[in-house]
Structure formats: C-alpha cells, structure tokens
Amino acid sequence: MIRNYLKIAFRTLWKHKTHTGINVVGLAVAFATATLLFLTSWFEWSYDRFHTDVDRIYRVYLQESTGDVTSIMPYPLSPALQAEMADAESVTRMMWSQTEFVGEKHVAKDIRFADPGVFRTFTFPMLAGDPNTALQDLSSIVITEDMARDLFGDQNPIGKPLRTDGLNMGRDFIVTGVLANIPTNSTFRFDALVRPETRADYQAAKAEWGSRNHEVFVRLKPGVDAQTAEKRLRSFTRKYWQTDIAEAKQRGQKPDAQGEYISLRLQPLTDIRFDTKGVMGGGVSRTYVYALALIGLFILLIAGINYVNLSLARSVTRAREVGVRKSLGAQAGQLFGQFWAESLVICLVALVAGVALAIGLRPFYNQLFGTRLSFDLLTHPITIGCIGVAFLFITLLTGGYPAWIMARFEAVTVLKGKVKGPKSGGLRSILIVAQFALASLLIICTLLIGQQLRYLRERPLGFSEEQVISLPLRNRDNLTGARALQQLRDRLRNNPDVVSISGTATNIGSGLDGSTSRSMSGWTHKNREVETDWLRVDFDYLKTLGMTLKAGRDFNPAFRTDTLSAVIITQSLAKQLGEKDPVGVVIQPDTADRKYEIIGVIPDFNLFSLHQKAKPITLHLDSRTGVSYALIRTTPQGMVRTMDALKSLWKEMAPSAPFQASFVNENTNRWYDKEERFSTIFRIAAGLTILLSCMGLFAVALLTIEQRTKEIGVRKVLGASVTSIVALLSKDFLKLVVIAIVIASPLAWYAMNQWLQDFAYKIDIEWWVFGLAGLLAVGIALLTVSFQSIKAALMNPVRSLRSD
C-alpha cells in the first residue's frame, strides 16, 4: 500500500511541476538556511565543552562593591592560590600574546604563557611528551601538532632546540611536548606554550599585586561548588587585599550584599565565550547565539506555513478528485495517507536538496560570517539526529493538516461543486499574522543593528584615527622594536608624506597581526583607590593620534627624565586622584621605589572597543616595556605612497619578518566584525522571511479570491469600480499585517534592548524605527496582494458568473 501511495504521489507531483517546484525550492532553502544557522548556534554554545569535567573549571575575577569587575590578575596571585586554596585541584596562569619562531624554517606562530598546571586544569591531549613534566623547566616549550609539522616535518620534535625572537624575549627553548591541535571551539587558541617566568617583565613584577596583565584559571576538586569556594576565598582576599579593603572603608564605600568590599569570584569556563564585558570586550553575546537559532526556526516555520497555504489553495482544485475517489470506496484514512505521502516526498526531496545546498554553501558561509563550521560537524550524530527530528516535525506540520482537511471533504457535496476549500479566517489568518510578525521582527532588528553599527563607527574615540598607519614591530634580524622605530624615524624624516611617527606597546584597534594585550595598574593615592591602563608609548604619540593637552606638556626628548619618571594621564584618572591640579603631582603605581611625575593631562580616549567605557589611562616611556608597534601619521594625499614606502623599508630592515601594516581606522572597524556579521545575517534572514512570507500571502490571496470570484462578478455587474474591489480584497490582509506589526514591535524592542546591554555606548531605541518597519511590511504586503486583486477585479464578470 505504501508503495502505491508513493507511486501515485510521484505521478501527482510530476503532473503539477510548478506547484511542486515552488514547495521544494522554498523548503530546500529553509532547510539549508536553518541547518547552517543551527550549526553556528550550536558551535558557539559548544565552546570549551570538550574539556573533561568542564563544570569544575573557572576563571578567577576580582569584584569590588562599587561594581567594578576585572579578570586581569597580578603575577603573585596564582602561586598564592596554589599554596593556599584547598578547594583547588590545579591552578594556572594564561597570558595572550604573539611571537615569531626562527629555525631551519621561519614561521610566525601564536604563543601563550602558562604554568605547569595548565595540563591538569584543561584537557589538551599530548601526543608526545609527559604532561606532568612538559613545562617543568623554564627552557621548556610545548608545541601543537601543526607547528611541529611546519618546523620539523616528519622528524620527532622532542628534544629539538627552538629560538623565539618576539616579545622582547629572544631566547632558546627545548621542545618537551607536542599537543593535538587545539579544537576550533576553544577560547584558547595558540601554537605553543612556555612558562610565564620567561617574560621580560616577570622578575620586575612577580611580587607586585598592583600590576596586572594576565588571567588565572582554577579547577575545583570534585564535590566543591563555586559558591562554597568563593566563601572560603574571603579570608584569602582579606589577607592579600587588606590595604585596599581598609582604604575602601575609609572612603565610606559600602560593602556588597555578601558584606565584602573586594572579593575574588569564579566564572565558569563555559561562560567566557559569552562575556562581552571582559578584558577587551571580545566575547560573543548570548543574544547573538539565541538569535541565530530563532532565525533558523523562524525560516523553517515560515516555509512550513507557506507549504500549508499552498496546499490549501490547491485543495480547491483537488476537491473533485477526493469526491470521485470517495465515491469509488476510498476511506478517509487512505486519502489522508495518500496526501501525506505527497508531502513526505516533497519534504524528503527538499531535505536532501537543502543539506546538499548547506554543504555546498559552507565555505562561502564560513568566509562571509567568520565561522568555522566543518564537514565533520555536519555529519556529527547529533546533527543528523536533529535534522531527522526537524524533518519529521516539518513533514507532520506541512502535510498533516492539509491532508486531514482534504480527506474530510464530503463526496456528494464536492461532486455537486459546492465545496471550494476550507473557509477563510481562523488558521489562515493566524498563519499570516505569524509570518509577518516574524518578518517585521527581523526588519526592526535589522534597522536597529544597522543604527548601532553606524553609531559605533561614527562616535569619536578621543583621537584622530584617519591617515594613521599601524606597523607591528617584531624582534627579528637583530632588530628590536625600539631600534626599528628609530630607524623608521631616521629614514622617513624628510619624507613630505609623513607628518609624525610614534610607537606603542598596545595596538590601536585589531591589527593584521591578531595580537592583543593589556596592562593595568592599581594603587592607593591619598586614601583614594586608583586603577589605570598602563600604556607604553613613545615620543610624538599625542601628535600622531591628534590628541590635545588639557594641562601640562607633552613628552620631550629635551627632558632626560621623561624616559624614566614622567607620565601623562587622562582626565578620568586625574579625577580619581582627586588632585585639583594634577600636573606636578608624584604618583607611585606599585610597591617598588620608582615614582612618576605627572607632566600632562589629556582628554579620555577609547583604547579598546566601545563595548566598554573609556578607562583611565597612563602614558609612560618606561623602557622596561618594549615598543611593539610603530604609528605613522601621513598627509591625506600621501597615504598610499607612505604605505608603499614602509613596505620597501621594512623589507630592507627586517627581510625575514612579515609586513603587517594596516590603517588604524580599519583596525578600529574590526572591533565590530562580529556585530557586522550579525547584521549581515539579519539582513539576509529578513530578506528570506519577507520573500517566503510574500509567497504565503500570495497563496492565501489566490485561495480567497478564487472563493470570492462570483461575488466579485456580481459587484462588477452592480457597478463596483476596480479600485473599490481591490480595496475590498486587500483590506482584510492589511489588517492582519498591522496586527503582526503590533505583536512584533514589543518583542523586537525587548530583544534589541537586551542586545544593546553589551555596549557601554549605545543608541536610544526610537519609535520611528517601528513605524518605518511597519510601513515596509504593509507596503510589501500590499504589493503582493494587489497583483491578484487587480487581476480578479479586471476579470470579465460574464466568465465568473457563467456557471450560475
């Protein structure tokens, strides 16, 4: 019987190729889109979940009762936790940076600094070497499988020497371990691990609790929950931050709900991917992940609704077929099975086509949206299971109801020509409202996301980012960052296209080298808690970035002490210090003997993205921190010429080092690449939902007008104009679209309001956005319905009334 159902289904579908093609294409596009979006959402959600007992791994962060939170920690914290935190099974520091390796082959790789406990804290399988001793010595380096292949080919890398030249730490290492390649869904992306003690600044800062530049992770012992561990950490915090706590009390600062002024907290590792308020605002918003899944679901639902509407529209033409088959003895169950088999065939063909389309579009999708979906992810058992469940759901949804409707037709009534299909209203109205509510929701979200992106890119950052080139300076060919900067100054001094040159340890924006770093310092000044980004710069930094002084003077080579003990601070730091005239005030950022004199004050500026408010910043020339980037301001006409000149100079200065110069305005734009991809997804999804919704509305309009053909004929005979008939046929649909907009607007407002919370600087959601989205939805619906309405209104009434 099933074979017979399928045979008839194929014949029927082939006979009505146009109808079948519309359904297959619509469902195939929906399956492909939903598959890619669901996989992206799942991929983001799966971040770091490959670690064994991931629910016991936490990132340590410091929270003050004022609400200030930071995950950047001082060097002494990790050793202290290892010695005193009884709840910790293991502790490790993790620091982000980039370096370059020189050996028989020259390759640029990413290096992280970590304690030996990294392999007890995280699950990074080791292919060669002993994880218990791999980082035991300061000369040890552990590399990944890909890096071992790049450097040593098929040779065994264990015991081989390796020299690093980056990060002002040129030194020799011995390979003591090879790790399996890091999974793509890992927060930590690196090619090699070495000990933190090998950093150039470690010895000077290893005992400084006020100097912070890395993150700390702990794995709790089995059976210990985070809340219990945090309570036991209170005594630890009071021991090492007692001075800060005492000063907070003196300032009249109120304790938090737990009675703490400063406390160490634990953040689950699986939450870090979604931390948009973190170190540099680099996390992915949960709203983004949920939105991807919901958009995929929306598109599937709209495609399913379209199929139902088109099937209902066709039920009118198939009513006589049902009547004849019933008169010949066919039962309702048999008719249901027949019609459901047709739906099954369409959905199966659409599923195969959709999955094939998803596989084919995967590389383009990865490139367009910056994702890393692999073919293995598509063939994962969970993926296959989810696709199977979705297929059954769509098949039952799209095939069940139309089949049930047609199977219930009365044979005698149908054969008399009195049944024209299911009555209008009810389900079809709900479906139209649902479709256009989803479409309106996405239109509103698309408009608001676009507004926020424009706001982020157009908002002043506190410096002039135009016509400034950022050039990463790597220690290579016996050329340090400071020497490279000086050579650039010497060689470009007489270049008419170059306005000024400076240097810095922290890049402006996201450069082509992909490196990120941040150094912070906190101390107490006259019973005031002070915290600042500690930024190494070079002479002419203010000139190169177009900054103006509010008070004092700029760094000047004529003053020898400027390179040793002078700093320039931002206005917010001056406010923290509480000094009426901060110029000339001496500060002591750490417990060391070195003191600094404030020589100038500048306006606040955003060193990092607008996900975070501008933090207080201290500019210094202390040579203990190296220069990693050159900043070159050019004339408006000389940007391209200067870039070409830099490329030639760099090839002469450091022939083995890559040239990775970029314009600063491009770097700052890259801060918002995730939001740009989010906006692109919404635009495409909104376009798809509008297209599919219009197809569904067209089908319903076709069905309704066909039912009212004789009514239209009578009205025309009685003198009704074409305009009045079009208005009559269109107004009911437009009412439904208006209802859809009313439903979608508060949902869109809530969703976008939640998304905007990830930004310290954001737009206000204004009413006109909803009005514009409503006009677009009504206009699109009117165009869709008008085509059929005008066609029906122009029909000769003699033809429509002929059967009567």
* DSSP letter (8 states) at residue 221: P
Q: What distance, in Å, lies between the first and last C-alpha atoms of the chain?
A: 41
Q: Which residues contact 183 (CB under 8 A, 6 or more apart)?
A: 50
How large is the average pLDDT for residues 62-71? 79
Using CA atoms, how far apart are residues 440 and 773, in angstroms rounded to an integer?
A: 6
Position 275 scores a pLDDT of 78
What is the CA angle 194-205-478, rounded to 5? 55
DSSP 425: S
Q: Where are the beta strands (DSSP E) in 485-622?
A: 498-504, 520-525, 528-536, 551-552, 566-570, 586-587, 596-602, 617-620
Pairing assessment for the beta strands 596-602 and 520-525 based on DSSP bridges: unpaired
Supply the pLDDT for residue 43: 86
Containing 73, the helix (H) or strand (E) segment is strand 73-74
% of the chain with per-residue pLDDT over 70: 80
CA distance 162 to 238: 43
Residue 259 burial by Cβ neighbours in a 10 Å radius (0-12, 13-18, 19+)? exposed
Helices 332-369/17-45 angle, 10° precision: 50
Q: What are phi and psi of 600, to 5 degrees?
A: -160, 160
Stated pTM of the model: 0.73
SS3 content of the chain, % helix, strand, coil (to 5): 50, 15, 30
What distance in Å separates the CA atoms of residue 318 and residue 409, rounded to the nearest whole number? 10
The answer to whether 362 and 43 have CB atoms below 8 angstroms apart is no
Give the whole-angstrom CA distance, residue 610 versus residue 587.
29
CB contact set of 338 (below 8 Å; sequence gap of 6+): 5, 8, 9, 403
**Tens-place pLDDT, residues 744-773:** 999 999 988 888 887 888 899 988 989 888
Please tell me the predicted confidence (pLDDT) of residue 51: 93
What's the confidence (pLDDT) of residue 482? 82
* Lowest mean per-residue pLDDT among 405-419, 473-487, 711-725: 405-419
CA distances from 769 to 5, 128, 262, 448, 779 (A): 51, 58, 43, 7, 15
Backbone φ, ψ for residue 485 (5° rounding): -65, -40
CA distance 160 to 347: 58
Cβ neighbours for 800, distance < 8 A, ≥ 6 positions apart: 709, 710, 712, 713
Rounded CA separation 439/420 (Å): 30
Angle at 485 between CA 483 and CA 486, to 5 degrees: 65
Find which of 117-121, 476-480, 622-626 is predicted with most confidence, using mean pLDDT: 117-121
What average pLDDT does this structure show over 614-627?
A: 86
What distances in angstroms separate CA 469 from CA 325, 500, 509, 548, 622, one per listed residue?
78, 11, 11, 19, 23
How confident is the model over 400-407, as a mean pLDDT? 63
Whether residue 261 contacts residue 54, with contact meaning beta carbons closer than 8 Å, is answered with no
pLDDT digits (tens, 9 = 90+) for 484-515: 888 899 889 889 999 999 999 888 888 877 77
Q: Residue 394 and residue 382: Cα distance in Å, rounded?
A: 18
Taking the C-alpha atoms of residue 60 and residue 49, their distance in angstroms, rounded to an integer, is: 18
Q: Are 588 and 523 in contact (CB under 8 A)?
A: yes
pLDDT at 52: 92
Residue 221 CB-half CA count within 13 A:
9
For 588-693, strand residue ranges (E) read 596-602, 617-620, 629-634, 662-663
For residue 658, pLDDT over 50 is answered with yes
Nearest to 535 by CA among 517, 556, 557: 517
Strands in 629-634's sheet, in edge-to-edge order, are: 498-504, 629-634, 468-472, 662-663
